């Protein structure tokens, strides 16, 4: 991977991936992980994140971009199977955390993707239950990268 702007400090996602901060992982692959956000827009809101800290998605090498897309497809399919919704929204915003990541959100309306509506008070129990529902769906779909 290359980056046009070198990172000067570790992002919160790097700290979660490294284990410095807790994370509700649902997927752990060699280049890409997925975990539940602590401020979901909707139940099931998941972040798909590159292990290597690269700020802009346009700075990813082609292989990492393909792996990011593959994990999005797997996690998105499992989300659709385990959380009632019309579709799975996929957003790369990247304005708050300078580390390439994709938001996958079960949605019924475009307004469900409004970050102003994030639930910063989501309970640990609700987040744990959402993570386990998603892990269960990933297992049923035969993905060995499911995090325990």
Task: Give per-residue pLDDT as tens, 54-105.
Answer: 999 999 999 999 999 999 999 999 999 999 999 999 999 988 999 999 999 9
Question: What does DSSP say about strands 32-36 and 46-50: parallel, antiparallel, or unpaired?
Answer: antiparallel
For residues 145 and 98, give the distance between their C-alpha atoms in angstroms, rounded to a whole number. Answer: 25
The pLDDT of residue 148: 75
CA–CA dist 29, 7 (Å, integer): 23
69 burial via Cβ count (<10 Å: 0-12, 13-18, 19+): middle
Q: What pLDDT score does 95 carry?
A: 87
pLDDT higher than 70, residue 122: yes
Q: What percent of the chain has pLDDT over 90?
A: 91
Strand partners, 35: 25, 47
| Phi, psi for residue 4 in degrees, rounded to 5 | -75, -20
- Vertex 7, ends 11 and 40: CA angle to 5°? 30
Residue in this structure with the two tokens 């469900």, named with its chain if needed: 112
pTM over 0.75: yes
pLDDT exceeds 50 at position 134:
yes
List the end-to-end C-alpha distance of the chain, in Å, as a whole number: 28
Neighbours of 42 (CB within 10 A): 19
State the burial class of residue 100 (Cβ atoms within 10 Å of its Cβ: 0-12, 13-18, 19+): buried
Fold entry, domain 12-141: HIT family, subunit A (3.30.428)
Residue 44 gets the label, from left (phi > 0), alpha (psi -120 to 50) or beta, of left
């Amino acid at each position: 991977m290359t980056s046009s702007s070198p990172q000067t400090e570790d992002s919160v996602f790097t700290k979660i991936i490294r284990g410095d901060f807790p994370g509700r992982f649902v997927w752990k692959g060699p280049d890409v992980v997925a975990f539940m956000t602590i401020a979901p827009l909707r139940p099931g809101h998941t972040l798909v994140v590159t292990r290597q800290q690269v700020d802009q998605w346009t700075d990813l090498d082609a292989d990492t971009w393909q792996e990011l897309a593959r994990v999005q497809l797997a996690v998105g399919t499992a989300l659709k199977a385990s959380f009632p919704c019309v579709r799975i929204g996929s957003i790369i915003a990247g304005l708050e955390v300078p580390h390439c990541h994709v938001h996958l959100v079960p949605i019924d309306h475009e307004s469900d993707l409004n970050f102003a509506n994030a639930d910063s008070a989501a309970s640990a129990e609700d987040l744990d239950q959402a993570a386990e529902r998603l892990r269960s769906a990933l297992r049923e779909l035969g993905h060995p990268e499911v995090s325990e």
